[in-house]
Amino acid sequence: MRSGKNDLYEDLKHQILTMELDPDQLLDELGLSERYGLSRTPVREVFRRLAGEGYLDIQENRGARVAPMNHSTLRNFFLVAPMVYAAIGRLAVHNYKPGQLRELCATQERFRRASAEHDARALVVENNRFHEIMGQMSGNPYLEPSLGRLLIDHARIGNTFFRPRNSEMERDLALAVAHHDSFIEAFGRHDEGAVVDLVFEHWELSRCNMQLYIAPQGLVDDLAASIKGG
């Protein structure tokens, strides 16, 4: 049963990140119980765990749904993400443990291999894991949950980034791989300034692609107005 629960948890998480499950999609509790050989109680336990992490939304008498993405969600994401990412980077420089840096390197190798193989699903998952590890490296119990919630939507609205359609997008993906290498090198030097600079370069790379291919024009206009007003 424990293996079935873990498989269900990991599969649902990956399917949400890679948009195999659409935002606000209702989950079939009975179907999942049968597919994973579980009673409905452990399935509901998995649902509650994923809801606590921000992947699902559970409402009484309405079942479990994939966390929605709407205009308000996206606007808040774009406004808050760079601040949280920068804070995580600063703290990670000073608080990481050697084992965490080794895990970051191993994740980067999988990310690099996925890029070479044009494996979009693996790219989404490994990129998410790379930034999750950076959150763990920060060692901050207040920021890590916020980062985790941001990464869910970052992965979902950034899926197109990992499915390049032209040479420019191919170059951007190659640059993202290079950024990860640079993060690892900067952490190894304990260079806070370099890490923070990379955070904003990396964010800008993602932001431009997200806005161009995913974000609704109204959100882009709102963000431009907010920046001007600030």
Token pair of 156, please? 């979902």
Q: Report the alpha-carbon distance of residue 14 to residue 108 in Å, rounded.
A: 18
Residue count of the chain, please give it.
Answer: 230
- Using 50, 70 and 90 to split pLDDT, how confident is the model at 226? very low
C-beta separation of 130 from 107 below 8 A: yes
Kindly report, residue by residue over 144-203, the tens digit of the pLDDT. Answer: 999 999 999 999 988 888 988 889 989 999 999 999 999 999 999 999 999 999 999 999
Q: Report the alpha-carbon distance of residue 182 to residue 111 in Å, rounded.
A: 14
Spatial neighbors of 207 by CB under 8 A, at least 6 apart, are 78
What pTM, to 2 d.p., does this model score?
0.86
Q: Report the alpha-carbon distance of residue 24 to residue 75 in Å, rounded.
A: 17
Q: Which residue has the tokens 């509901």?
A: 44
Kindly report, residue by residue over 43-80, the tens digit of the pLDDT. Answer: 999 999 999 999 999 988 789 999 998 888 888 888 89
Question: How high is the pLDDT of residue 222?
Answer: 52
| Mean pLDDT value of segment 196-217 | 77
Q: Report the alpha-carbon distance of residue 170 to residue 162 in Å, rounded.
A: 9
C-beta separation of 45 from 8 below 8 A: no
